[in-house]
Amino acid sequence: MTPDKIRNIAIIAHVDHGKTTLVDGLLRASGNFRENQAIAERAMDSMDLEREKGITIKAKNTSVHWNDYIINIVDTPGHADFGGEVERVMKMVDGVMLVVDAYEGPQAQTRFVLKKALEQGIKPIVLINKMDRPHIEPQKVHDKVLELFLELDATEEQFNAAFVYGSARAGWVTDSPTGEQHDMTFLLGKIVEHIPAPKAEVEGCFEMLVSNIDWDNFVGRVAIGKVTRGSVKLGDKVFLLGKTPEEKAIPVKVTKVFQYTTLTTSDSVEGIAGDIVGISGFEDVDIGQTVAGSADAVALPFVAIDPPTIVMQ
């Protein structure tokens, strides 16, 4: 597996425009749903508060294995209170799928997350969703999205985003509002075609920026991030670089490597360049730290996160 067979994508949308339904649809269509089902449910809807309030609080993830490709799908919080977290997600991915309700059109959170993505130079694919709804005007919504791109200073490449129309709930997508309907794997093809492969060096000293932390009952803290160079496997000795150049690197023996998205593991899982994985073995590790194969490696640029303020309605 090489980086050209990997795609790392975030799905961004205003609340209720269909992110969760879309991810379920993609998992089902690719045949990954059964094995991932419990995990996907947990991953996409795990926090009670989120269920109650209908807002995505923590970036969460899943992955689709399709036609020799690994497509890592990173969920993003749409709420402005999680600005820092959105930025961290944008650093991990190479493209976004912007989901917009064909009836409602772009809303406040559409604008907020799209702005973050465009600022990072990320290329979007736009899915005009809920095409099965009555009284929709997809062409108008298409134009509104393009207006938003202009307002947010999209580059020419970003502005020329691919548009796809469909119904995540009914499980079909098409190239144009009146075009032929295809199953959801069509969308996976669009992702592979339009989203660039991750920029990562296969050879060289292992390097990963910790972008998220999870917890596993057996191994404790799991540091999650994109492998930007080299690879990592069970038993490797790596270094957790200090938070400042003065702070010493701490040697760490890797006790597990997790396929990040499903947070499943086997002893043979290897974190390869371009993929997003979880690794354990740390006594302590924070988001923003770099894990590297050498104590002398240079820390990757850090994106601080704002403490989340949860606004109760």
Binding-site residue numbers are: 16-21
Q: Does 183 bind ligand GDP (CB under 6 A)?
A: no
Q: Does 21 bind ligand GDP (CB under 6 A)?
A: yes
| Single residue of 76, 129, 158, 280 touching ligand GDP by CB under 6 A | 129
Least CB distance to ligand GDP at residue 112 (A): 14
Annotated binding-site residue numbers for GTP: 16-21
Least CB distance to ligand GDP at residue 78 (A): 8
| Single residue of 6, 10, 12, 13 touching ligand GDP by CB under 6 A | 13
Would you say 106 and 14 are in contact if contact means Cβ atoms under 8 Å apart?
A: yes
Nearer CB in complex with ligand GDP: 133/253: 133
What SS3 class is residue 50? Answer: helix
| Single residue of 28, 60, 88, 130 touching ligand GDP by CB under 6 A | 130
Nearer CB in complex with ligand GDP: 82/206: 82
| Dihedral in degrees, nearest 10, Cα atoms 218, 73, 91, 204 | 70
Q: Among 34-42, 79-87, 124-132, 235-243, which window interacts with ligand GDP (CB under 6 A)?
A: 124-132
User: For residue 201, what is the DSSP state?
Assistant: B
Q: Among 11-19, 151-159, 227-235, 246-254, which window interacts with ligand GDP (CB under 6 A)?
A: 11-19
Burial state string for 57-96 with b = 16 or more CB within 10 A and e = fewer than 16: bbbbbbbbbbeebbbbbbbbbbbeebbbbbbbbbbbbbbb
Nearer CB in complex with ligand GDP: 18/274: 18
Q: Among 1-9, 115-123, 128-136, 202-210, which window interacts with ligand GDP (CB under 6 A)?
A: 128-136
Nearer CB in complex with ligand GDP: 44/291: 44
The C-alpha atoms of residue 153 and residue 118 are separated, in whole angstroms, by: 8
| Single residue of 6, 9, 17, 118 touching ligand GDP by CB under 6 A | 17
The C-alpha atoms of residue 313 and residue 295 are separated, in whole angstroms, by: 47
The C-alpha atoms of residue 299 and residue 25 are separated, in whole angstroms, by: 38
Nearer CB in complex with ligand GDP: 19/142: 19
φ, ψ for residue 276, nearest 5 deg:
-100, 125
Residue 260, both tokens: 């990040």
Q: Does 16 bind ligand GDP (CB under 6 A)?
A: yes
Least CB distance to ligand GDP at residue 127 (A): 10
Contact track, ligand GDP, 151-180, x by CB under 6 A: ----------------xxx-----------
- For the packed helices 138-151 and 108-119, what is the interaxial angle rounded to 10 degrees? 50
Least CB distance to ligand GDP at residue 175 (A): 17
Q: Does 90 bind ligand GDP (CB under 6 A)?
A: no
Number of amino acids touching ligand GDP (CB under 6 A): 15
Q: Is 302 exposed, middle or buried (0-12, 13-18, 19+ CB in 10 A)?
A: middle
The C-alpha atoms of residue 259 and residue 64 are separated, in whole angstroms, by: 11
Residue 16, both tokens: 């209720």
Could you give the maximum distance between any two Cα atoms of the chain, in Å? 61
The C-alpha atoms of residue 8 and residue 65 are separated, in whole angstroms, by: 12
Nearer CB in complex with ligand GDP: 132/247: 132
| Single residue of 3, 6, 19, 148 touching ligand GDP by CB under 6 A | 19
Q: Terminus-to-terminus CA distance in the chain, angstroms?
A: 46
Using CB under 6 A, list all residues that contact ligand GDP.
13, 15-21, 129-130, 132-133, 167-169
